[in-house]
Amino acid sequence: MTPTLIIAVLSAYFAFLVLISKLTSKDQGNETFFMGKRQSPWYIVAFGMIGASLSGVTFISVPGWVASSQFSYVQMVLGYLVGYAVIATVLMPIYYKLNLTSIYTYLEDRFGFWSYKSGAFYFILSRTIGAAFRLYLVANVLQVLVFDFWNVPFAVTVALTILLIWLYTHKAGIKTIIWTDTLQTLFMLIAVVLCFYYVADAMNFSLSKAVSEISASKYAKMFFFEDLRSPSFFPKKFLAGAFLAIVMTGLDQDMMQKNLSCPTLKDAQKNMFWFSVILVFVNVLFLALGALLYLFASSKGIVASGDELFASVAMHESMPLVVGLFFILGLVAAAYSSADSALTALTTSFCVDFLNVQNREATKQVKLRKRTHVLFSILLFIVILLFKLINDESVVSALFKVAGYTYGPLLGMYAFGLFTSYKIKDHFVIPVVILAPILTYVLQLIAPIFWGFSFGFELLIINGLISFTGLFFIRTKSS
């Protein structure tokens, strides 16, 4: 596969995204950019959210996890269903009742100024690091496969990557993203299905034979009840999945902005229901593909695992050209469907939560939003180059995980607001939300040493519980 062919296919793909942007951006006002005038069809939102929730990291990582964790990820995915049910029945009614643009204004209504700003700050920090990390991975792939061939510097590759996102989101924001994410989800799923089909065909497997071989393999175990200390222990995985869904969708401006663009609460709830059901099947498909990739790699003597597995098989000489091309398209689509909405959500949150754009003169609102959109594009560019400067995969991955710690305080604040009637001493909330992630990290370090116990994704619950407890100690009278 030549770099010229790859760039030609990607150019056609992005030209299509820009065309969608032109068709959806006749109205460039802030209400359109932030909320799509609350006119998004729920079924389009539901389908597009699949790509946005998976991201490029999931696209290449979930199949690679199969060797080390088998199908234990299904336990977490089942927990997602509980989390999404909580979002649809508890959080969404509140957001629609308060007619929110930024979901963090709930914290101001409930607790006060500093709680509100702390929640919005943690979102911006988390999404900036997360979006930059995902784009960093994709830029690295494009650099190796395409731009190194032409001696193009990595900084230029990154700038082009972000410029493409800016081009199709700067006018209509969420209104455009609802439709581009649908296209990108479609390409991502086509890539997975095609790769599954051609890998099975290369092994002379029919569909039923492929399923039976995967089921009989050492990778197919889903449920783990044997070892309480294991990160794969079912209750730990299930609960972690439920709480991860709540914080990374229900308490995340990026994901909720799409839901809140639906006309009514009932539409948004239908969107959440169908999205969560489809997501289960999509994740199982990714895991099945991972098992098949490992079986294929073993039969061909391909030495690859983890994040390298999918790319190594898709680019293998025995695979037809279409598999490699759709792997590239699927990876780019998965990464961009999460990164484009992240850029829009960061712009929305900063404009509403920190610049109070809604209180400015009408003539200045759009200009301020466009400047903010450019500034966050530049910020992502800088953070990605910093990741490259570090040039240590373990350190960069650790930074990405740090962003995960910042959702704990959000979980604690929202839980305290929803399930207690207390107010708090609002100015004391800052030390609480700073200390909670630090204490969680320390606990993660000492648990294996003192108790022989390893925490996994359930650290989010611990983080939220510490935040909740801290807020309890600074409580005042009931509201």
Say if residue 366's pLDDT is above 80.
yes
Say if residue 446's pLDDT is above 80.
yes
Which residue has 């991975």 as its token pair? 137
Say if residue 36's pLDDT is above 80.
no
Percent of the chain with pLDDT over 70: 94
Distance CA 320, CA 198 (A): 8
* Lowest model confidence (mean pLDDT) among 42-51, 168-177, 223-232, 470-479: 168-177
Distance CA 230, CA 362 (A): 56
Say if residue 370's pLDDT is above 80.
yes
Q: What is the pLDDT of residue 29?
A: 67
User: Domains in the chain, start-ordered, CATH in brackets?
Assistant: 3-393 (1.20.1730.10), 406-479 (no CATH)
pLDDT digits (tens, 9 = 90+) for 450-460: 877 777 777 88
* Lowest model confidence (mean pLDDT) among 25-34, 44-53, 436-445: 25-34
CA distances from 222 to 57, 70, 225, 284, 334 (A): 21, 7, 10, 10, 25
Q: What is the pLDDT of residue 330?
A: 85
Average pLDDT of the chain?
Answer: 87
pLDDT digits (tens, 9 = 90+) for 109-162: 999 999 999 999 999 998 898 888 888 878 887 888 788 889 999 999 999 989
pLDDT digits (tens, 9 = 90+) for 90-119: 999 999 999 988 999 999 999 999 999 999
Over range 289-309, report the average pLDDT: 87
Q: What is the pLDDT of residue 421?
A: 93
Q: What is the pLDDT of residue 310?
A: 85
Tell me the pLDDT band of 391, cut-offs 50, 70 and 90: low
Distance CA 329, CA 190 (A): 9
**Torsion over CA: 169, 170, 176, 178 (sign):** positive
pTM: 0.87
